[in-house]
Amino acid sequence: MITFLLSGFWHGASWNFVVWGALNGLAVLPAVLWARSPRLGPEDTAGGEGALPSLRALLRMLGTFAFACLTWVFFRARTLGDSAVVLSKVWAGPWTLSAVSAALSPSLWLLGLCGLLLASEWATRRQWHPLGWPSLPRPLRWLGYSLLLWASLGLAREQEGTFIYFQF
C-alpha cells in the first residue's frame, strides 16, 4: 500500500494522483494479505490451459480491465473534481443501444483490430513473446509485424500532444 501511495505522490502533488495510487494499492492488498499457497509462477499460463478462459477467469480479466480504466480516470484528470465529473458523466449515460452504437461506429475497425490483437495474444500466451508466432512461416510473420506497424501509425494522432510526463 505504501509503494502505491508513494507512486501516486511521485506522479504529482494532487489528490487525484493520491487516489489513483490508493485505489491500486487497495486492489493489490487482498492478494498480498491473503495469499493462497502455492502462488502462481511466471511460467503458469494466464487464464488457464484451455482454448478459452473459464467464466471465472474471463470475469476476473474483465474486472481487472474495468478497474484499470476506472483508476486511469483519476490519473489523467487534472483535479479530483475533474475525475468526479468524468465518472458521473460515464455513470449517467446515456446507455441506450443507439447511443452506444453511435459512439462505437466510427471505431469499428479499431475495435476489430483490438479483437484481433487480443485473439493473437491469447493464442500465443504460453510463449515467451506473445507476438512471436513461431509456427507461421517467416514471410507471414513479417507481414503480420508490418501490418501491426502500419496500423499503429494509422492510429497516431495527426496533431502534436504533450508528453504525459512533460510536467515532471
pLDDT band, residue 110 (cuts 50/70/90): confident
Task: Report how many domains make up the chain.
Answer: 2
Residue where a domain terminates, one of 92, 115, 142: 92
* 67 and 20 share one domain: yes
Verify that 61 and 103 share a domain, yes or no.
no
Q: Please check whether residues 58 and 103 belong to one and the same domain.
A: no
Residues in the chain: 168
129 is catalytic: no
Do residues 20 and 75 make contact, with C-beta atoms less than 8 angstroms apart? yes
Question: What share of the chain has pLDDT > 70, as a percent?
Answer: 89
Query: Per mean pLDDT, which of 32-41, 64-73, 90-99 is the most reliable?
Result: 64-73
Q: Annotated catalytic residue: which of 4, 11, 16, 21? A: 11
pTM of the model: 0.75
Query: Which of 67, 92, 117 finishes a domain?
Result: 92
Residue type at 95? W
Report how far Cα 116 is from the mean position of its chain's Cα atoms: 15
For residues 84-91, average pLDDT: 93
Residues 100 and 45 in one domain: no
| Residue 94 to residue 149: CA distance in whole angstroms | 35
The whole-number pLDDT of residue 159 equals: 66
Residue 6 and residue 37 share a domain: yes
* Together in a domain, 54 and 8: yes
Question: Domain for residue 166, yes or no?
Answer: no
Choosing from 71, 92, 113, the residue where a domain stops is 92
Same-domain status, 109 and 151:
yes
**Band of pLDDT at residue 21, cut at 50, 70 and 90:** very high
Q: Which residues of 80-93 are buried (b: 16+ CB within 10 A; e: fewer)?
A: eeebeeeeeeeeee
- Note whether residue 168 is domain-resident: no
Same domain for 8 and 53, yes or no, is: yes
Highest mean pLDDT: which of 29-33, 46-50, 68-72, 116-120? 68-72
Residues 82, 118: one domain?
no
Residues 129, 144 share a domain: yes
Mean per-residue pLDDT for 76-102? 90
Report in angstroms the alpha-carbon separations of 38 from 34, 35, 41, 44, 123. Answer: 12, 9, 9, 12, 26
Average pLDDT over residues 92-100: 86
Same domain, 85 and 127: no
Q: In this structure, what DSSP letter does residue 50 have?
A: S
**Host domain of residue 36:** 1-92
Q: What is the mean pLDDT of the chain?
A: 84
Side chain identity at residue 97, one-letter code: L
- Report pLDDT for 157: 66
Task: Place 81 in a pLDDT band, splitting at 50, 70 and 90.
Answer: very high
